[in-house]
Amino acid sequence: MGKRIFLFLLTNLAIVVMLSLVLSILGVGSGYVGPGGLDIQALMIFCLVWGMGGAFISLQMSRWIAKRATGVQLVDGRTGNADSDWLYATVQRLTQTANLSMPEVGIYDSPEVNAFATGPSKNRSLVAVSSGLMRAMRPEEIEGVLAHEVAHISNGDMVTMTLLQGVINAVVMFLARIIAFAFVRGSSRDGERGGSYAMNWIVIMVLEIGLGIFGSLITAWFSRQREFRADRGGATFAGRDRMLGALRRLAANRELVDTQHQALATLKINGTKGWMVFFSTHPPIEARIAALERFQG
């Protein structure tokens, strides 16, 4: 846990420093030009740089963060360990079927049943599985899981999610500042311009939280749709029976998916039930099974 918190803080510090430097080079301020003044063009650039920039820096660092957060040990197919070498060979075969460059392949030590794909592009990706998944699943079921992750890479899901998140971040920042400016300006008397500065930022923070929650509903919905697409892709690459077998095995082992670390939620296989499904990045496993059973591709 301490290591993940440290990586989270380090990543965000790097993003803040880099984006502050970019804005300084561009000569762009926050968009506020004295009491009661607002530069819409500067504000748009400011929000775009922070919203899109933060998302894309995180994407570029995604492999590095994932490997260090989970302790992934890379394999190359020549370890001498039958399971590790089989894992590498299976990913290699699936990526060839998908006409992709070979990703990095790794295993991380955890009792949870999980796998993930990440990386800044189709040519710089990572596929990793937990040791718990290797123990809990049959080879054909593992192949289904790997095919699902390769489908994520083939679909360009990491980049698409980053674009969506970046746009939402920028829109949230922009709307929060515009609304706060109008609210504070309208409620302040002429002699209170100095005191309205603190109120402006309080309103911005409240609005960013509220708008951010709404934005998270959009990104979570899109993420759930990409899971269905990746299931269909996995069925295409490995076979529908293998993909269904993998999902059914996951349903039987749902209690072995660690849901405590929300920062890594998009790396988790299972979804939630009830009203929290609207905030979940993964659909309920039963919904995924039902959708794939209807799939005839």
Query: Which residues are designated catalytic?
Result: 149
Residue recorded with tokens 């939620």: 265
Output the six-digit token pair for 78.
């020549």
Q: What are the angstrom distances between the C-alpha of 176 and each of 10, 192, 193?
A: 26, 21, 19
Find the helix packing angle between 40-60 and 2-26, rounded to 10°: 140
**Dihedral sign, Cα of residue 85, residue 86, residue 89, residue 90:** negative
Q: What are the angstrom distances between the C-alpha of 113 and each of 1, 256, 295?
A: 19, 6, 25
Closest-CA residue to 241 (of 152, 141, 171, 160) = 141
- CB under 8 Å to 241, separation ≥6 — which residues? 140
CA distance linking residue 294 with residue 15, whole number of Å: 43
Amino acid symbol at 23: L
DSSP code of 38?
B
- CB under 8 Å to 266, separation ≥6 — which residues? 116, 161, 223, 281
